[in-house]
Structure formats: structure tokens, C-alpha cells
């Protein structure tokens, strides 16, 4: 029987001051308009700005002086909209239970080494004595970030794409009823395995399991959940992880949306970077004011065809701020941000380097990375899949997520022909075509985006 879902918004605390939407780094509404928008949200009426432009960045919860959790109110209203209209057809792309999802399509382009890592991670059944490392849906897309590293010797890495990162990215889009089902499903997984210690490569996943599932979905987990970055820092400080190379890089840090949850998660990644020999140059919007990588712009969708343009246009803001710092590299500690940011980097043709923090640690440990070749190739794999998915979605209707467990026949190892996708990706092997495509995308972006 499904547990009762609990609203995270505390209406009794909200005094309609409007500060949350006024201080929002994306909306920046005048105070009077912010008050009106909050009133409309509470009453369940159509808004002029919030539901159409919110990037789900979580800042509003930090700004709210009453601690009323306005972010959760926005999610509730999106959940209502999902019930009314379904999900946009492009969302098939991020549903591992649907045909032609990104994990299934990416199978065409994985190297043999990547296949080997992923097969092992997906098929290992944890034992009760294991410390499990959740690789996660989006690190799955970029397995070379951590695959083959000595860091994995401390864990049993597993990769369950139909755990949906615990529902983290669906939660961010307001698919709350689906997240509740995922919470119950993941609880069964963990309990059946009998594991006690679970480490997540994504801070969003730690937050989902420790905070969202029990407090909003009514699903209590008995396991001890830890963030991988905190594990890294603890082991760097103890000397277990030897950082033999000081990198002497000037970097700027992207704080992902979920870093703002549970009081803010910003200092651990920065401390790790400093210990690796990085000098940090901060962007204009950081920490509680940080701008989204672009992924969150997909939550407040208005038109299906506009989704990629909305997301990339928001990501462009991030790159412009990063470039203005004069840093050599932009660092993210979120795998979900990384894959979209690499697509943005290639379409924008930005010169700033882009790394996941795990790659920085590995380089400081003396491990070799095939940078940037692996990333550039994967960015164009993803751009090809997005292009293909957008074309297909033009002929589909909105849909509802009926299944949360994927069909084995749709697993990433069941390659199909997908001739159109193969052709798109083949053409992207030519540099001139990539340049023309990127320029065309940038020209269309102001016309096609809705925000």
C-alpha cells in the first residue's frame, strides 16, 4: 500500500511577503508582483511568471524568512499540471522505462571499456556487508569519470538506472506522485540487499534519500547515506587518498541546485579543490545565489520544441559568468549538470575547460584521464541523441509515466539499428558540420526559447 505523501510547503508559515520570488536569481520579480505570484500559487491559480520560468534552483527556500518552503509549493503545482496534461514527449528521453531513452540510445556509442564497466555495475547484486556506491543515472552517461579509478576499490559500485537517482530529477520537475512510487521501490531494493552503508556520487541523491523520501513521501530508509564528496574529503584528510600532484589550476565552481538543500553544501567541494592545488575564482552567482546549469529549465516547460533551447540558453549564462572570472576551468560536483554543460560548452564553443570534481581528484592522485577527448565525443553523442529525440517527439503526444521499473528488453545492452540517429552522429564526426550545427543552434536559440 502506498504511503501518504506529505506536502513540503508550510502554508501556515507563509505571510505572502514575496521575498522568495523577489530575491530569486532567475525571476527577480518586483516585490509587489512577487506577493501576487505567491498568492496565486497558494490558491492553485495560473501564474504569470513562476510556473513558466522557474529553474527549480531551490534558492527560494533559502531566501524565505519564514522557512515556509516555497519551492515545494511550486513542485506541488507542477505535479497538478502533470496530472492534467502529462509530460512533454521529449521527456521520453530521460525515462529509463520508456523506449528510446538516452541510456538505451547511448549504447550505440559506448566504447567496449565503458560497456564492461557499466555491465559490471548494473549486474552486481549487493551483499549485506558491502558499502555500496551509487554510480547514478547521469554518471552512467560519462562512466570514464570514475571507471578504472583506484577510488572504486573502497566500494561495490552499482548502477541501477531504474532507481531514477531516487527520483531526484523527477522531483525537481514536480513529478511528486511518481517520486513516491520510486521511494517505495528503492526502499525494497535496499532492504532486500540488506546493506547498511550507501554512498552516492550525487549530493542530490543523498538529500532525496535522507530528507525528501521520509519527510515528503512517507518512506523511511534504515540505511546510512553519505555523500561521495564528504567521503573523499575525509579520506584525503586522513591520508588514505594521496594527492601526489598539485595541479596549479585556476578554477571556478558551479554550485548545483541541490547544493542549496539541507542548509547548503558548498564548502566541501571547495576544500577538496584547494587540497588538489586549485585556486578558486568565484563567479557572480554562487552558493545560495547560484544559477542552474540549464537542466532545471526543462521543468517549467511551455512548448515541447522549446525545451532544448530553454535549457541550453540558461546554461549559456553559467558559461558567460565562468569565462568572466578568467579561470582556466569550470568545475562541477554534479554528474547531472556535467553532461548538459558539456553539450552547452560544445554548442557555445566555449574555450574554458570543464571537469567533474572526481576528475580533479584523480588527476591529483596521479591517475591519467583521456581529457578532453572522451568528453568531446560524449558531448556530441548526447547532442545527436537530443536532436534525434526532439525530431521524434514532434510526432508524439504528452504522456504519463506508467512504469518505474525498466523492461529488460530496453536495457542499454539491447542495441537496435536507429539508422537516423546513427546518421546524425556520423555527420557530427566532421568538424565543419559541428561548427555549422552549433552556429545554427545559437541563431535559433533566441527565436525558439520561451523564457
- Concatenated DSSP letters for 22-39? HH-TTT---HHHHHHHHH
What is the pTM assigned to this prediction? 0.95
Sheet holding 131-134, edge to edge: 156-158, 131-134, 197-200, 224-227
155 DSSP β-pair partners: none
CB burial of residue 367 (10 Å; 0-12, 13-18, 19+): middle
Rounded to 10 degrees, the C-alpha dihedral 286/289/291/292 comes to 100
Query: What are the CA-CA distances from residue 237 to residues 233, 272, 437 (Å)?
Result: 6, 10, 46
With cell 521511494, the residue in question is 183
pLDDT score of 411: 64
Name which of 210, 209, 158 is nearest 185 in CA terms.
209
pLDDT score of 262: 73
Among the residues of 201-297, which ranges form H helices?
203-207, 213-216, 228-238, 267-275
Instruction: Give the cell for residue 121.
Output: 555495475
With cell 571507471, the residue in question is 147
pLDDT values of the chain reduced to their tens digit, one per residue, 451 residues:
567 777 889 999 999 999 999 999 999 999 999 999 999 999 999 999 999 999 999 999 999 999 999 999 999 999 999 999 999 999 999 999 998 999 999 999 999 999 999 999 999 999 999 999 999 999 999 999 999 999 999 999 999 999 999 999 999 999 999 999 999 999 999 999 999 999 999 889 999 999 999 999 999 999 999 999 999 999 999 999 999 999 999 999 999 999 998 778 899 999 999 999 999 999 999 999 999 999 888 888 888 899 999 999 999 999 999 999 999 999 999 999 999 999 999 999 999 999 999 999 999 999 999 999 999 999 999 999 999 999 999 899 999 999 999 877 666 666 678 999 999 999 999 999 999 999 999 999 999 888 7
CA dist 437 and 156 (Å) reads 41
Amino acid at each position: 500500500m502506498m504511503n501518504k505523501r506529505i506536502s513540503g510547503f508550510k502554508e501556515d508559515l507563509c505571510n505572502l511577503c514575496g521575498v522568495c520570488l523577489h530575491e530569486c536569481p532567475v525571476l527577480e520579480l518586483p516585490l509587489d508582483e512577487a506577493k501576487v505570484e505567491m498568492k496565486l500559487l497558494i490558491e492553485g491559480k495560473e501564474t504569470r511568471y513562476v510556473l513558466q520560468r522557474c529553474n527549480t534552483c531551490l534558492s527560494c527556500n533559502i531566501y524565505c524568512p519564514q522557512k515556509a518552503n516555497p519551492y515545494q509549493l511550486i513542485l506541488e503545482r507542477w505535479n497538478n499540471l502533470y496530472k492534467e496534461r502529462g509530460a512533454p514527449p521529449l521527456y521520453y528521453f530521460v525515462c529509463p522505462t520508456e523506449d528510446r531513452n538516452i541510456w538505451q540510445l547511448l549504447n550505440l556509442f559506448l566504447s567496449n571499456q565503458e560497456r564492461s564497466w557499466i555491465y559490471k555495475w548494473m549486474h552486481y547484486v549487493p551483499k549485506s556487508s558491502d558499502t555500496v556506491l551509487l554510480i547514478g543515472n547521469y554518471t552512467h552517461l560519462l562512466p570514464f569519470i570514475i571507471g578504472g579509478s583506484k577510488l572504486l576499490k573502497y566500494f561495490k559500485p552499482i548502477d541501477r538506472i531504474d532507481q531514477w537517482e531516487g527520483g531526484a530529477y523527477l522531483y525537481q520537475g514536480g513529478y511528486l506522485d511518481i517520486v513516491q512510487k520510486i521511494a517505495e521501490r528503492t526502499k525494497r531494493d535496499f532492504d532486500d540487499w540488506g546493506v547498511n552503508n550507501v554512498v552516492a556520487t550525487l549530493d542530490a541523491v543523498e538529500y532525496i534519500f535522507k530528507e525528501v523520501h521520509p519527510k515528503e513521501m512517507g518512506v523511511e530508509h534504515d540505511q546510512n547515506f553519505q555523500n561521495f564528496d564528504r567521503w573523499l574529503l575525509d579520506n584525503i584528510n586522513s591520508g588514505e587518498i594521496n594527492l601526489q600532484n598539485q595541479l596549479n589550476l585556476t578554477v571556478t565552481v558551479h554550485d548545483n541546485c541541490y547544493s542549496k538543500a539541507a542548509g547548503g553544501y558548498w564548502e566541501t567541494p571547495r576544500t577538496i579543490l584547494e587540497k588538489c592545488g586549485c585556486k578558486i575564482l568565484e563567479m557572480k552567482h554562487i552558493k545560495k545565489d547560484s544559477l542552474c546549469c540549464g537542466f532545471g529549465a526543462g521543468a517549467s516547460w511551455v512548448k515541447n520544441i522549446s525545451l532544448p533551447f530553454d535549457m541550453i540558453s540558461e546554461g549559456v549564462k553559467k558559461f558567460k559568468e565562468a569565462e568572466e572570472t578568467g579561470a582556466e576551468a569550470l568545475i562541477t560536483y554534479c554528474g547531472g549538470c556535467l553532461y548538459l554543460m558539456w553539450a552547452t560548452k560544445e554548442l557555445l564553443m566555449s574555450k574554458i575547460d570543464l571537469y567533474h570534481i572526481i576528475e580533479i581528484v584523480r588527476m591529483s592522485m596521479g591517475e591519467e584521464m583521456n581529457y578532453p577527448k572522451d568528453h568531446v565525443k560524449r558531448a556530441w553523442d548526447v547532442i545527436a541523441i537530443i536532436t534525434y529525440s526532439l525530431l521524434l517527439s514532434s510526432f508524439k503526444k504528452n504522456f504519463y509515466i506508467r512504469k518505474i521499473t525498466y523492461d529488460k528488453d530496453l536495457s542499454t545492452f539491447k542495441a537496435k539499428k536507429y539508422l537516423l540517429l546513427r546518421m546524425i552522429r556520423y555527420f557530427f564526426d566532421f568538424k565543419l558540420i559541428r561548427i555549422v550545427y552549433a552556429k545554427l543552434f545559437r541563431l535559433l536559440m533566441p527565436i525558439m526559447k520561451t523564457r
